[in-house]
Amino acid sequence: MNRARLITMLIVLGIAAFVLSLLIGPAQIGPVASIEALLAGGNEAAMIIMREIRLPRALLAVLIGFSLGVAGAALQGLLRNPLAEPGIIGISASASLGAVLLFYTGLAGASLLALPAGALTGAALCVLVLLVISAAQASTITLILAGVALASLAGALTSLVLNLSPNPYASYEIIFWLLGSLKDRTMDHVWLVIPLMALGWAALWASSRTLDALSLGEEGASGLGANIPRARVLVVCGVALCVGAATAVSGALGFIGLIVPHLVRPLTNRLPGQLLLPAGLGGAALLTIADIVARTIIPERELNVGVVTALIGAPFFLWLVIRSRKELF
């Protein structure tokens, strides 16, 4: 499929999902009243619902989905592994640990920005370790193994915090947050993540040509003059900013960065650098649709969107593993 046509289709799908997300909710507000509440004011109750509840949620779904899709495509290109996703280098788990520690110490409620700050701190510490490894001219395999080790350590420490939780209410808050949700987010969260994600997108796009060259292998890319260590640093930092910011406001959301690149790759020329934008647009549409499903699939009871993405992503991941085995044998 022509890349421009694919991008146009994904933009249309994303806009449709975004508009539908704005129109869906417990309060019955018609399309005309919704537009009036967003743009012109109108009814005060409708204005509060649209501007302070639905709009931030829909915007975050688009921003987080785009970031996770781009991050997944970039990692798969860097590691040359179709099963790679943002959680593989430990950033998601480290960001989650940072937030969980704030729940444990009781500081999560001190400020609206306390929880995002804790998650971003956890992601930043993980990145520092990965950057030290990248600066030492380590191979891509070493980077993967270090990320897996960091993810395992962060997961173990998160479990330890849950076991030492001072009361069941704190444990419930931690578990609920780890499931991933876009509920009760505000425009403050949107303004917090936009600059961080924009920096992450810029870093990933700056590495796109090297990612294309890496499709020939590291030796082939080096022969073409590609600066592979620089690309590793850019991708690690870009993924950290995207995933760290996303986890900071939504909790842990898995599989978006795994699923979307696979869905759009057959419709492109399969070059990793050319896949970044379609993967981002597809991620934005997929997470927005998943959030709509989370709100509507069970009447009068909202699921965490992380549960929906896991229910979609886990079978998809299993199918990828089975297909990979068949290709090998």
Length of the chain: 329
Q: What is the pLDDT of residue 328?
A: 45
Query: Hey, how many other C-beta atoms are within 10 angstroms of the C-beta on 117?
Result: 17
Q: What is the pLDDT of residue 232?
A: 85
DSSP 8-state symbol, 51: I
Mean pLDDT of the chain: 86
Confidence of residue 40 (pLDDT cuts 50, 70, 90): confident
DSSP code string of 301-329? -PPPHHHHHHHHHHHHHHHHHHHHHHHH-
**What average pLDDT does the segment 152-174 reach?**
85
Instruction: For 113-133, write each residue's pLDDT tens digit.
Output: 788 888 888 888 888 888 787
Instruction: For 45-88, write each residue's pLDDT tens digit.
Output: 888 889 899 999 999 999 999 999 999 999 888 888 777 788 77
DSSP tally for the chain: helices H, then strands E: 15, 0
Residue 242 has pLDDT above 70, yes or no: yes
Distance, CA of 210 to CA of 222 (rounded, Å): 9
Q: Determine the topology of domain 55-328 in CATH.
A: ABC transporter involved in vitamin B12 uptake, BtuC (1.10.3470)
Q: What is the pLDDT of residue 329?
A: 45
Q: What is the pLDDT of residue 244?
A: 86
Q: pLDDT: is 42 or 9 the higher one? A: 9
Residue 41 has pLDDT above 80, yes or no: no
Model's pTM, two decimal places?
Answer: 0.90
Q: What is the pLDDT of residue 134?
A: 67
H or E element that contains 104: helix 91-105
Q: pLDDT: is 172 or 260 the higher one? A: 260
Extents of the domains making up the chain: 55-328
| Residue position matching structure tokens 């005060």 | 44
